[in-house]
Amino acid sequence: MLTQAELVDYSGHCSARRDGGSFFINSGASIRSILTAEDIVAIDFDGSLLDGTAKPPVEFPLHAEIYRARPDVRVVMHTHPRWSTLLTMVGVPFRPVFPQGSLLGDVPVLDSPMSVNTRDMGARVAGALGSGPAVLLKSHGAVVVAADMVECFALAIYLEENACRQYMAMQIGSPYVLSAAEQEACRGRLGTPSLYRKAWDHYRVKLGRQNPN
């Protein structure tokens, strides 16, 4: 839970499955605050409060409908990353252009810029996500899912780094997309708990430097 708090503070709202019918999620507290145990609540898939007193975010259905549709998912992150979102604004598909991007593959896009604050919108996000690790929301943001927090964080970082490189390269030409064989080889080599942990550790140190207190 402490670990979760650290991550959530970094970017947007994040949730962790509690059991078959409920999950923990941070309240609508601002990104600047130091999250405490009080900011995290447990709710069921209809948003009813099971534990805690803070108000769940209005976009809780994004998380709920993914947990409902994907029993394998234990962590859901929803962020508003700059470069990934720019790709969706112009209809350019996300493609793996550096090795770590292979872990995401070709990421689908939900064709709506609106807030995911209803069960119907949540179900559309879950549908667009399918069985993959990520889905982009047009002109809005990104959703990444995984079996644990460290992997989910690493994938969210790789998603944005790949999108940044794709955007930058597009300004001067057409970026090389890794071949199916190259992607397959990269997934085998890079998709390991120890490398996800390395990315996590790298960013913890980096963020700790930028925000020493």
Helix ranges, the chain (H): 2-10, 60-69, 82-89, 119-129, 149-170, 180-190, 193-210
Would you count residue 176 as binding a second copy (CB under 8 A)? yes
**Among residue numbers 57 through 86, which ones bind a second copy (CB under 8 A)?**
82, 85-86
By three-state DSSP, how is residue 78 classified?
Answer: strand
Instruction: Kindly report the number of other CB atoms within 10 A of residue 202's CB atom.
Output: 12
| Among 98, 118, 195, 197, interactor with a second copy by CB under 8 A | 98
Would you count residue 34 as binding a second copy (CB under 8 A)? no
Residues 82, 24: Cα–Cα separation, whole Å:
26
| Among 18, 70, 119, 138, interactor with a second copy by CB under 8 A | 138
Q: Which is nearer to a second copy, 27 or 139 (CB)?
A: 139
Q: Which is nearer to a second copy, 3 or 189 (CB)?
A: 189
Residues 26, 61: Cα–Cα separation, whole Å:
13
Q: Shortest Cβ distance from residue 112 to a second copy (Å)?
A: 8
Would you count residue 167 as binding a second copy (CB under 8 A)? yes
Which span sits near a second copy by CB under 8 A: 42-50, 65-73, 145-153, 203-211?
A: 203-211
Angle at 16 between CA 206 and CA 184, to 5 degrees: 70
Would you count residue 124 as binding a second copy (CB under 8 A)? no
Residues 107, 97: Cα–Cα separation, whole Å:
13
| Among 37, 173, 194, 210, interactor with a second copy by CB under 8 A | 173
Would you count residue 195 as binding a second copy (CB under 8 A)? no
Q: What six digits make up the tokens of 120?
A: 């119907």
Q: What six digits make up the tokens of 32?
A: 């600047």
Q: Shortest Cβ distance from residue 131 to a second copy (Å)?
A: 26
Residues 26, 169: Cα–Cα separation, whole Å:
36
Amino acid symbol at 197: R
| Among 7, 14, 97, 144, interactor with a second copy by CB under 8 A | 97
Would you count residue 114 as binding a second copy (CB under 8 A)? yes
| Among 1, 2, 37, 172, interactor with a second copy by CB under 8 A | 172
Would you count residue 47 as binding a second copy (CB under 8 A)? no
Residues 126, 144: Cα–Cα separation, whole Å:
11
